[in-house]
Structure 1
Amino acid sequence: MRTVFGVVRQIQSLVGRLPIVGGSEAASGAQVRPLAAGRRPLLGDGLGEQRRGGARLDQVDGTTCGSAVLIALTAWADPAETLRLDGEQRGGSAAGSGGAGTAVTSGARAGVAAGFGARYNARQREVHRESTRFWPQALGTTPWGMVRWLRRNAPAAGPYRVRFVDDVSAADLEPALDAARAALTAGRPVPMLVGQPLAPRHYVMALGVLDDGQWRVYEPTSGHVKALDLRLVRERRLARVLGFDRLHALFLPI
């Protein structure tokens, strides 16, 4: 059974309106430039639970998975986002011991001020309001709300586009995965929308490719970075890792 966005993708194909198809899509991802060094991301380089300032980096409620992903992507691209969450609006003396490019696996080492958890939760709610301005907040964030928020509020991340995926069609799925892999190899995170066949439900974010080809994926419900075997995407059995079985869309950097 095709997903809702898989049907959209199939219709686009039938009427000849696919924006990018086949090998050209993968090639476009390979041309994506990595962003500058000296970043101060929220998420660490390894697998497992992500914590900062004594708080787990999970979504604040059942509707803010998209907001958690947007914050993580913004922080990856712009150290000012992390500085604000850490309570260092202007990068004061607490940040001086580590520097802007220092790993952030330890809140104390990064100079995180008290109250990080409250600031992080408040920031999620703020981003949720901003990204659902024309949509009921109780229904979460739409794909268009995600890319619009990034364009307006996170220019350092660069523009992204929504790439619907027909996950029952290898001819459509494989070029989409190739394009995402190219972006990840270039150092660019790739948000993903997963869900049930008739309902896209949950945002996660691919962060990189492991040596064995699995993807490192941030899952905000648990606040963990997990290893995703792409075989599960192809077999439509994502729930064991990401909570829902079906891939609806990828968000690719332009």
Structure 2
Amino acid sequence: MRPGPQRAGRRLLAQVDGVSCGPSVLVATAALTGSGWPGAVAGRFGRAQRLAHRQANRWWPRALGTTPFGMRRWLHRHAPAAGRFRIRPWSSATSGAVAAAAAAGHPVPLLVGSVWLPRHWVLVIRVGERGWEVYEPSSGEVRLLAPGTLATRSATPVLGWPRAYCALVPRP
């Protein structure tokens, strides 16, 4: 039996279907930043995801997930305590900005995917001594990610996808 990915030891709630990773990250970001989101409780998490998905995807088909622009717009409107975000394409500079924001206590949505397509939203929630703690919504787990794995496109064992595409970095 192969060993699984390292885990940061906590568990949050999982996404309700195969296309609600973005809304799960939105609801988690709102809850973690104290925006008063009423749905971040086990019995209401599914409803909160569905509502966030409708609100974030005004003109984009929900079956295709949630765009970075829809994520940013939703956070600005519905999670004011999270602050303002900018969309940053992935680079080593973006990695540093993500680490700095998470170290300062700001959750950072991160879009990952295959070599060809962005596919999945995760949430960097903390920077620890051993790496980044990342909420992975398909499992509901908080997993430990070595940031260098994103540079080498080898994050698949932890995030399910090898490549980072962009991050929603909080503005200072």
TM over 0.5: yes
Closer, same or farther: CA 135–60 of 1 in aligned 2, 3 Å? same
Per the alignment, residue 151 of structure 1 pairs with: 76
Normalising by structure 1, report the TM-score: 0.62
Extract structure 1 runs of 4+ deviating beyond 3 A: none
Indicate whether 1:72 and 2:33 are aligned: no
How far apart are residue 228 of structure 1 and its match? 0.2
Structure 1 CA distance for aligned equivalents of residues 74 and 164 of structure 2: 22
Structure 2 CA distance for aligned equivalents of residues 153 and 194 of structure 1: 23
Per the alignment, residue 143 of structure 2 pairs with: 226
How far apart are residue 157 of structure 1 and its match? 0.9
How far apart are residue 209 of structure 1 and its match? 1.1
- Determine if contact 2:126/2:134 at 8 Å carries over to the other structure: yes
Amino acid at match of 2:53: H
Amino acid at match of 1:227: L
Q: Which consecutive unaligned segments of at least 5 residues does structure 1 have?
A: 1-45, 52-56, 87-115, 166-172
**Aligned pair partner of 2:103 in 181, 185, 188:** 185
Per the alignment, residue 18 of structure 2 pairs with: 62
Per the alignment, residue 11 of structure 2 pairs with: 50
**DSSP-derived class of the 2:39 partner:** helix
**DSSP-derived class of the 1:182 partner:** helix
Q: Which has the larger radius of gyration?
A: 1
Per the alignment, residue 52 of structure 2 pairs with: 127
User: What does residue range 1-254 of structure 1 map to in structure 2 within 5 Å?
Assistant: 47-51=8-12, 57-78=13-34, 80-81=36-37, 84-85=38-39, 116-165=41-90, 173-212=91-130, 214-254=131-171
Amino acid at match of 2:142: V
Structure 2 CA distance for aligned equivalents of residues 129 and 68 of structure 1: 12
Query: How many residue pairs align between the two structures?
Result: 165
Structure 1 CA distance for aligned equivalents of residues 167 and 147 of structure 2: 14
How far apart are residue 124 of structure 1 and its match? 0.6
- Determine if contact 2:107/2:125 at 8 Å carries over to the other structure: yes
> Which range moved further: 216-225 or 226-235?
226-235
- Write 1 or 2 for the structure with the bigger share of strand: 2
Write the deviation string for residues 108-134 of structure 1: whole angstroms up to 9, x where unpaired.
xxxxxxxx5341111110100110111
Structure 2 CA distance for aligned equivalents of residues 71 and 139 of structure 1: 19
- Determine if contact 2:39/2:47 at 8 Å carries over to the other structure: no
Normalising by structure 2, report the TM-score: 0.90
Amino acid at match of 1:140: G
